[in-house]
Amino acid sequence: MSKPSLSALAIASKREELAKVKAELKELIAMRKNMRVQVAAQKAAAKEAKAAERAEKKAARIAKLEAKLLALKAKPVGTKAIKANRKPSKVTILKKAA
């Protein structure tokens, strides 16, 4: 057997260092990918929540306007409304009872 030379030992140690760095790089890439997936999921959840809130507000606004419309339809319109809204005037007596 031949003794390993100094350059062979240096090459072997550099290969080990390179393998370690590659493993670390692989871990960092996987971590970055997981973080991107988490951020995308959070954005999607926020978007869905915002859409649900918007739909809820729209439904409330529609219900309010429908109630207003029903209230308008229930009241008399035109001359009937004018007569209904009049205040009773002071009673005047034209003839006195004898």
Query: If you search the block for the tokens 């960092």, which residue do you land on?
Result: 28
Name the residue type at position 53.
E
- So where are the chain's domains? 11-83
Integer Cα distance of 52 and 44 in angstroms: 12
Q: What is the pLDDT along the chain (98 residues), one digit of tens a residue?
A: 467 677 888 899 999 999 999 999 999 999 999 999 999 999 999 999 999 999 999 999 999 999 998 887 776 667 777 777 777 776 666 677 65
Integer Cα distance of 18 and 54 in angstroms: 54
